[in-house]
């Protein structure tokens, strides 16, 4: 007889037994500060701050460059769009991703949102660090002649103004931060929407075979994922049409985001096989991740077909 599924956890499982009045005790604060999610948020803030410092430095350096807008095939094809459309696509994708995976449950009634958000945030912080190098290494002329900035103080001070939304810079072209956010949200939907499904309704792709294999790896599209990527493409068009980024900025930003996401998730699954300092850090961050533990359990016995027959390989 199959074991009944556990009841779903509460929406706020991190509250102590005493409720809100015991939340800010010394022990609970220590647990929060030393939690993997908090450490990941620190990494995100560090990446954002470094990126903003470099943005200001690039803005000051851009005054020394005498350059005009470069030819761009995206500018030739797309009409001029209001930059607010690109902002709406970016922040809309972030909001929908937050709401969607905050309430999602796995078929076994587990909430893995903290694992999903932790991985998302880690990738975002890493991509901000990469962007810090790209926007200053080879500077491209900004095609947005409407962009005006008022930065005038130290980059270390102005970075906080950028983070808080008080000012903007105009020289951070390669690669697009909006593209990173939209693509990363799309990758999160693509990787996890079938793991924490809201519905099994799939009119477009349900006839194309099984959804996942025994390791829960995706084998085909779903209707939800299809429309997510349609939304992503429209967001790319808004970004290019706003004339704040070249088509190349969007192309490189999307490819690098997908690569970082895929490499990080591949490392999550195999980090326990090596004892490097980074793998130990990954194992600590993923120590209670139900999906990773299930994947490794399924990977325990792998059937390998050979010409002379079939043999079983035990992976410890």
In a domain, 99, yes or no: yes
Report the distance separating Cα 242 and Cα 236, nearest Å: 10
Q: Is 21 helix (H, G, I), strand (E, B) or coil?
A: helix
Within a domain: 307: yes
Any residues with CB less than 8 A from the CB of 95 and at least 6 apart, and which?
A: none
Structure tokens at 221: 């599209």
When pLDDT is cut at 50, 70 and 90, the band that residue 311 belongs to is very low
pLDDT of residue 260: 96
Give domain status of residue 24, yes or no.
no
- pLDDT value of position 123: 95
250 occurs within a structural domain: yes
User: Residue 230: inside a domain, yes or no?
Assistant: yes
Find the range with the poorest average confidence among 98-112, 120-134, 174-188. 98-112
Nearest to 171 by CA among 32, 82, 64: 64
The values of phi and psi at residue 305, to 5°, are: -85, 135
Residue 222 lies in a domain: yes
Task: Say if 115 falls within a structural domain.
Answer: yes
Question: pLDDT tens for residues 225-274?
Answer: 899 999 999 999 999 999 989 999 999 999 999 999 999 998 888 888 88
* Helix, strand, or coil (residue 297): helix
In angstroms, what CA-CA distances link 132 with 43, 52, 57, 137, 260?
Answer: 14, 8, 10, 9, 15
Domain range for 229 is: 73-138+173-314
**Other beta carbons within 10 Å of 122:** 24
For Cα atoms 149, 253, 60, give the angle at the middle one, nearest 5 degrees: 25
Confidence of residue 206 (pLDDT cuts 50, 70, 90): confident
Which of these, 78, 105, 74, 97, lies nearest to 8 by C-alpha position?
105
Highest mean pLDDT: which range of 194-208, 227-241, 295-309: 227-241
Count: domains in the chain: 1
Residue 31 lies in a domain: no
pLDDT digits (tens, 9 = 90+) for 1-31: 455 555 544 444 444 455 555 556 666 777 7
Residue with tokens 């880690």: 122
Take residue 100 and report the two structure tokens written for it. 């969607």
As given in the structure block, the two tokens for residue 289 are 């991740």
The pLDDT of residue 107: 62
First to last CA, the chain: 28
Q: Which residue has the tokens 């194309």?
A: 208
E strand spans, the chain: 301-306, 309-314
Task: Name the pTM for this structure.
Answer: 0.83
């Amino acid at each position: 007889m199959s074991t009944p599924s556990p009841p779903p956890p509460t929406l706020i499982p991190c509250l102590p037994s005493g409720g809100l009045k015991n939340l800010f005790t010394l022990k609970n604060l220590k647990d929060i500060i030393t939690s993997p999610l908090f450490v990941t948020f620190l990494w995100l803030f560090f990446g954002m701050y470094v990126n903003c410092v470099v943005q200001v430095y690039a803005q000051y350096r851009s005054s020394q460059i005498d350059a005009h807008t470069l030819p761009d095939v995206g500018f030739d094809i797309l009409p001029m769009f209001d930059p607010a459309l690109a902002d709406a696509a970016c922040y809309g994708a972030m909001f929908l991703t937050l709401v969607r995976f905050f309430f999602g449950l796995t078929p076994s009634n587990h909430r893995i949102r903290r694992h999903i958000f932790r991985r998302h945030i880690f990738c975002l912080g890493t991509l901000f660090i990469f962007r810090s190098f790209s926007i200053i290494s080879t500077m491209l002329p900004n095609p947005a002649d409407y962009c005006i900035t008022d930065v005038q103080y130290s980059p270390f001070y102005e970075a906080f103004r950028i983070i808080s939304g008080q000012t903007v810079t105009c020289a951070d072209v390669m690669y697009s931060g909006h593209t990173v956010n939209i693509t990363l949200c799309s990758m999160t939907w693509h990787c996890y929407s079938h793991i924490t499904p809201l519905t099994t309704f799939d009119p477009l792709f349900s006839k194309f075979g099984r959804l996942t294999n025994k390791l829960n790896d995706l084998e085909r599209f779903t209707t939800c994922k299809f429309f997510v990527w349609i939304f992503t493409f429209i967001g790319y068009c808004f970004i290019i049409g706003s004339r704040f980024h070249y088509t190349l900025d969007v192309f490189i930003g999307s490819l690098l985001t997908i690569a970082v996401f895929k490499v990080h998730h591949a490392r999550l699954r195999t980090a326990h096989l090596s004892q490097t300092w980074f793998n130990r850090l990954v194992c600590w961050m993923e120590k209670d991740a139900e999906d990773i533990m299930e994947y490794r359990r399924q990977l325990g016995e792998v059937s390998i077909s050979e010409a002379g027959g079939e043999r079983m390989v035990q992976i410890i």
